[in-house]
Amino acid sequence: MSEFHGDQQSHGAEQQDAGRAQAPLSSHGTAVRSGEEALRERHVARAHSASARTRGACRCAGVEADPAAVIAVPTEAASKAANALRLSADALAALADGAPDPAADARHARNAAAASVLAAQIARSHGTGALSDAAYQAALKASQAAGLAAGKEGLGRSEVLNAEAEAAETAAVAAAEAAGWL
């Protein structure tokens, strides 16, 4: 699986190394990961990628997210951006805690992808043209695919739905880069 964004490559490698240090060793001395740990890595990678898209879209829109701007029902771009960034950060924090749980991990990745749609909407309203529209549509598709992977049919374990979510995330990153958001 290819990584979604440069920042995630180094972070993902650090997480893999940390996971190998704690994983039991096979008879050949290599680390053995459980299926749930491998699934968590995939969900974490998607969540980090979506979070990076959220930050990039907000930055590109010129919307600085002030933590004080987080309100229950945001109506202004700054409040919406702050909420999107908070939701994204909450999803990443939840993925860092506890034992791997594919269903919960997929829901957190879905939440990060959903936050990126809000940020993409803000960035699209500040940008013009087909590239901004395409980046928003790609963010929406990535969120929908993440939702399917986390839904009752997949529960974070479906290889097909996870692969579709990963492909949609990769496409969302490419569209965000083309729009100048990343």
CA distances 122 to 17, 59, 76, 81, 163, Å, are 36, 10, 10, 7, 28
CA distances 80 to 23, 76, 162, Å, are 40, 6, 28
How many angstroms separate the CA atoms of 168 and 53, rounded? 13
Mean pLDDT of 44-56: 95
CA distances 104 to 53, 80, 90, 114, 173, Å, are 21, 25, 13, 15, 23
The yes-or-no verdict on residue 4 having pLDDT over 90 is no
How many angstroms separate the CA atoms of 160 and 112, rounded? 20
Q: What is the pTM of this model?
A: 0.77
Backbone angles phi, psi at 31, to 5 degrees: -70, 140
Least confident of 21-35, 87-101, 147-161: 21-35
- pLDDT classification of 69: cutoffs 50, 70, 90: low
Three-state secondary-structure class, residue 154: coil
Identify the pLDDT of residue 178. Answer: 96
Q: How many CB atoms lie within 10 A of CB 115?
A: 28
